[in-house]
Amino acid sequence: MIINVKKYLVFGSKDEMQKFFKDAQKAGFIEFIQKKPKSKEVSNNVSNLLNAIKVLKKQPVAEQATSLLDPLSLAVRINHDQTSLHQLEEEVRYIKSEIARITPFGDFSLEKVQALKDEANRIIQFLAMKSEKAKDTKLPPEVIYISSAYDLDYFIAINKDKKNYPNMIEMQIDQSISSLNYRLEYCYKKIQETEKQLKENAAYLDSLREELKKELNAQHLNDAKNGADYVMSSSLFAIQAWIPQNKIEAFKGLTKNLLVDFEEIKVEKKDRKPTYMENKGWSKVGEDLVHIYDTPDVSDKDPSTWILVFFAIFFAMIVSDAGYGLLYLALGLFIKFKFPNLKGMGKRFVKLILLLATCCIIWGTLTASFFGMDIGPENPFRKFSVLHFLAKEKTEYHMQQKDDVYYYWLGKFPNLKTAENGHEFMTKSVSYKEDKIEYESLTKFYDNILMEFSILMGVIHLILSFLRYLPRNWSGAGWILFMVGGYLYFPSQLNATTFVNFLHILDKPTAYLIGEYLVYAGIGLACVLSFIQRGFGAGLSELMNVVQVFADVLSYLRLYALALAGMIMGSTFNDIGISMGLGVGFIVIIIGHVVNIVLGIMGGVIHGLRLNFLEWYHYSFEGGGRRFSPLKLLK
- Residues 379-408 have pLDDT tens digits of 877 777 899 999 999 999 999 989 899 899
561/427 same-domain check: yes
Does the pLDDT at position 180 exceed 80? yes
> Has residue 417 been placed in a domain?
yes
Lowest-confidence region among 66-75, 359-368, 416-425, 623-632: 66-75
pLDDT recorded at residue 384: 76
In tens, the pLDDT along 293-346 reads 999 999 999 999 999 999 999 999 999 999 999 999 999 999 999 998 888 899
The C-alpha atoms of residue 536 and residue 527 are separated, in whole angstroms, by 9
Q: Report residue 485's pLDDT band, with 50, 70 and 90 as the boundaries.
A: very high
302/447 same-domain check: yes
> Has residue 145 been placed in a domain?
yes
Could you give the 3-state DSSP secondary structure of residue 125? strand
- Domain stop point among 175, 199, 232: 175
In tens, the pLDDT along 113-137 reads 888 888 888 899 999 999 888 888 8
In tens, the pLDDT along 308-321 reads 999 999 999 999 99
> Has residue 252 been placed in a domain?
no
Angle at the Cα of 558 from the Cα atoms of 556 and 560, rounded to 5 degrees: 95
Instruction: Kindly give the residue spans of alpha helices, DSSP state H, lying in 339-421.
Output: 344-366, 386-401, 404-412
Cβ atoms of 304 and 283 closer than 8 Å = yes
pLDDT recorded at residue 233: 76
In tens, the pLDDT along 489-527 reads 998 888 889 999 999 999 889 999 999 999 999 999 999
> Has residue 124 been placed in a domain?
yes
Give the closest residue to 422 by CA, choosing from 408, 441, 448: 441
pLDDT recorded at residue 70: 87
Does the pLDDT at position 357 exceed 80? yes
Going across the sheet that includes 143-149, the strands are 143-149, 152-159, 123-130, 169-171
Domain that holds residue 161: 108-175
With a pLDDT cut of 70, the percent of the chain lying above it is 99
Section 243-261 average pLDDT = 92
> Has residue 25 been placed in a domain?
no
Distances (CA, A) of 307 to 263, 304, 609: 37, 5, 8
**Residue-wise burial string across 113-135, b where 16 or more C-beta atoms lie within 10 A, e elsewhere:** eeeeeeeeeeeebbbbbeeeebe
With a pLDDT cut of 90, the percent of the chain lying above it is 64
Does the pLDDT at position 435 exceed 80? no
The C-alpha atoms of residue 359 and residue 361 are separated, in whole angstroms, by 5
What spatial distance separates the first Cα and last Cα of the chain, rounded to whole Å? Answer: 24
In tens, the pLDDT along 458-472 reads 999 999 999 999 999
In tens, the pLDDT along 166-179 reads 889 999 999 999 99
> Has residue 269 been placed in a domain?
no
Does the pLDDT at position 190 exceed 90? yes
- Domain stop point among 145, 175, 205: 175
In tens, the pLDDT along 229-247 reads 888 877 899 999 999 999 9
- Domain stop point among 175, 198, 231: 175
Q: Report residue 65's pLDDT band, with 50, 70 and 90 as the boundaries.
A: confident
pLDDT recorded at residue 377: 80
Lowest-confidence region among 140-149, 184-193, 600-609: 140-149
> Has residue 94 been placed in a domain?
no
pLDDT recorded at residue 84: 96
Q: What is the dihedral of CA 32, 33, 36, 39, to 10 degrees?
A: 40
Q: Report residue 375's pLDDT band, with 50, 70 and 90 as the boundaries.
A: confident
438/578 same-domain check: yes
pLDDT recorded at residue 279: 92
Does the pLDDT at position 6 exceed 90? yes
The residue among 436 and 112 whose pLDDT is bigger is 112
pLDDT recorded at residue 275: 94
Q: Report residue 248's pLDDT band, with 50, 70 and 90 as the boundaries.
A: very high
pLDDT recorded at residue 152: 92
Residues for the chain: how many in total? 635
Q: Checking phi first, is residue 448 left (phi over 0); if not, alpha (psi -120 to 50) or beta? A: alpha
Find the radius of gyration of the CA atoms of the chain.
38
165/307 same-domain check: no
298-303: long-range contacts, CB 8 A cutoff, minimum separation 24:
298/2, 298/4, 298/5, 298/273, 298/274, 298/625, 299/622, 300/2, 300/275, 300/621, 300/622, 300/623, 300/625, 301/2, 301/468, 301/469, 301/620, 302/1, 302/2, 302/277, 303/612, 303/617, 303/620, 303/621
Q: Give the chain's mean pLDDT.
A: 91
pLDDT recorded at residue 166: 87
> Has residue 319 been placed in a domain?
yes
pLDDT recorded at residue 515: 93
Q: Report residue 38's pLDDT band, with 50, 70 and 90 as the boundaries.
A: confident
pLDDT recorded at residue 269: 86
Cβ atoms of 555 and 611 closer than 8 Å = yes
Section 219-238 average pLDDT = 87
Lowest-confidence region among 33-47, 86-100, 279-293, 361-375: 33-47
Overall number of domains in the chain: 2
Q: Checking phi first, is residue 601 left (phi over 0); if not, alpha (psi -120 to 50) or beta? A: alpha
